[in-house]
Structure 1
Amino acid sequence: MGRVVQIPLTRCCSKIPKTLSPNCAKINNALKSVSNVLEILNNVLERSLPPFIDRTSQTAERFVNNQDL
């Protein structure tokens, strides 16, 4: 959690000859837009997590189990 994993979605059309896929640029632009939206959502979700949970090494379940009750 906490890392943005980049998937090369925009390269899906790079090997298709332009004569076979005249809409390749449109598809690539749409995929870039989707990628940008997902990155924004990821940033919002990371900021909305409670600050007391260590996002890199501890799951919420482990956090709850380690509390002194």
Structure 2
Amino acid sequence: MQQPRIWLVEDEQSIADTLVYPLQQEGFQVTVFGRGLPALEAAAHQAPDVAILDVGLPDISGFEL
């Protein structure tokens, strides 16, 4: 069975680090993006099962993403 994919879009590394470990321990494959636009570009090729978005990103609003 393939692990569910979660994309975490968060520009604060300490917050991302806090979330990644427990998600991985629960069996999720976590990909972290530090900005919104790279996540948007990646979504054109492959979508995650779930995305966790920071609404205050430096390049694009999490609401827009």
TM-score, scaled to structure 1: 0.32
TM-score, scaled to structure 2: 0.34
Task: Kindly indicate which of the two structures has a greater share of residues assigned to helix.
Answer: 1
Greater radius of gyration (CA) = 1
- Greater RCO, CA 8 A, separation 6+: 2
